[in-house]
Each structure stands twice: as C-alpha cells, then as structure tokens.
Amino acid sequence: MFGLLAYALWGVLPLYFKALKGLPPFDIVAHRVLWSIPFLAIVIAIARGWPKVRDALRRPSTVGMLIITALLIGGNWLLYVYAVTSGHILAASFGYYLNPLANVLLGRFVLKEQLNRLQWTAVALAAAGISVLAAGALGQLWISLTLCVSFALYGLLRKVVPADAVTGLGIETAILFPAAIVWLAWRRSTGAAIMGDSEYMTILLLLAGVVSTTPLMLFTAAARRLQYSTLGMLQFIAPTLQFLIAVAYGEPLKTAHFIAFPAIWIALGLYVTALLRAPRLPQPPE
C-alpha cells in the first residue's frame, strides 16, 4: 500500500507543476526544499523521531550516504520540474518507465534478490516495450536516462542506509536547505517575485513541502519493506498516469506508445501474478 500510494501521487504530480509553469525550475525546487523543512519537523515531532535523527547524525557513514542521496534526489527533482514545465512530460514518463527495469536489475545483481521464471518473462516483455518507446524518443532520451539513473540509485541507497523513511528524508532536506535559501535570497535580490505573482501561486508554493515529501516518505517506507525488484515493477503506475496527463495536455502520441504500453502492463500483470503465487516472507524491522 505504501508503494501504490507513493506512485499514484507521483503519477498526478505533473498537474501541480503545470500550475507553477511561470516559475523557473530552480525556484520551484528551492521552494520544495524550503517548505519541506517545517512539514518534516512536525512529522518527526509527532512520531517522536528526534532521537533517531540524533543517532543517524552521530554515524558518519550514514551522513555520508544521505549527502549522496540528497544530491541525487535534488538533481532528480530539478530535471523532472524542467521536463514538465517545458512540455516534455512524455520524456519524463519514459524515464520512469525505464526506472523499474533498473530497479529489478539492481535488486537482482546488487542486492542478490531472486527472480523466478515468470518474473524474468515479465521483465523481458517490459524491456521489449520500453525498447520500442526508446526508438521513438531519442531527442529527449538524455532526460529519460538521467531521471532513470538518478532515481534508481537514490532508491537503492535509501533501501540500505540505516535510517527510516522520515529520519532519512529529514536529514536529506536539511542538507539541501542552505542551497535553497541562498538561491531564493539571490533571486529576491534581483527583484524576482519568488512567491509567485498571485495568491494562488503563493498557496501552491506553500504546499510544496507536503506535495514533495509525502510520496517520498511513502516510497522509502515501501523500499525498506519490499524486494527492490517488486518496488520497481509497481513503479509502472506513476509513468502511466504521467503519460495520460501528457496526452491530455496535447503532447503528440505516437504508434510506439500503442505498442509499448500494452506490453508493459501485461508484464506488470505477470509480475504481480508471480508475487501472489510466492510464499509470504517475514517483514523486516523498520
């Protein structure tokens, strides 16, 4: 349920960024970081999680990994906002169609997770569908590949870093916070309207923390409980919703999409069938 909710929220996120289209991507990402701080502080306080934050900060290896994950997710956010606001939602959705395969491969070859024959069949079918998409999207392929690699590595590191979802995300956001403040202060000094040019835009920016951190907390909670390959296959939900939004906004639909998407969803169905047939494993501790 954590994974399904995370990907459903990410799937409709382009609607939020489309509403902020008049603002530069750097401004939007800075607001995401800025307003995530008070939201996460409240969540941590309610969960009585400050001792966990202090414990994580005492471990240099944990802090080092969270610095890397903070840079990965910050860069991923920036490129995703650029793709949406510049009319490349299809390229962004393709990046997140690639991501599940990257997750499955990382889960298999890095985390040594085992896949049965039906799961490998699903992976191969999804790869075939994605290959068809890639052939028709070479112009924006750099966007897709960068989004894929950055988020796949982020998820892998967050799965193994010894910090729970809220603790890790709180520290990551604090790491990015100084850069966000410096950027917004510089923009303000140039006379830019950093809070938007209307009350509606201001309200949307104030909600950036909730919009940004809620699906990430759900995702990292899911990543610590599920096989990484399983989490990857569930991710097809988000780019499919993004694809539908892109079509609704008038981005061109090609023949490749009509070939690729049925293949991808059949693959997801096969993978879920394999999961339902598999015996349940005990849940790891949070």
d(CA 215, CA 100): 17
What are the extents of the domains in the chain? 2-277
CB neighbour class for 281 (10 Å; exposed up to 12, middle 13-18, buried from 19): exposed
What pTM was estimated for this model as a whole? 0.80
pLDDT at 79: 94
Residue-wise pLDDT for 65-74, tens only, equals 999 999 999 9
Residue-wise pLDDT for 174-195, tens only, equals 999 999 999 999 999 998 888 8
d(CA 125, CA 11): 22
Give 141's contacts (C-beta < 8 A, 6+ positions apart): 91, 134
Residue-wise pLDDT for 43-53, tens only, equals 899 989 999 99
3-state secondary structure (DSSP) of residue 74: helix
CA atoms within 13 A on the CB side of 15: 11
d(CA 78, CA 47): 29
Number of neighbours of residue 280 by Cβ within 10 angstroms: 6
Q: In percent, how much of the chain has pLDDT > 90?
A: 33
Distance between start and end Cα atoms, the chain: 16
Residue-wise pLDDT for 134-167, tens only, equals 776 656 778 888 998 898 899 889 888 988 888 9
pLDDT at 167: 92
Q: Does the pLDDT value for residue 283 go beyond 70?
A: no
Residue-wise pLDDT for 72-126, tens only, equals 999 999 999 999 888 888 888 878 777 777 777 777 788 787 778 888 888 888 7
Q: What is the dihedral of CA 115, 232, 275, 121, to 10 degrees?
A: -50
Q: Which of 91, 69, 66 minimizes the C-alpha distance to 79?
A: 91
Residue-wise pLDDT for 219-236, tens only, equals 888 877 887 677 777 877
List C-alpha distances in Å: 163 to 86, 177, 244. 35, 19, 35
List C-alpha distances in Å: 160 to 54, 84, 145, 153. 19, 30, 23, 11
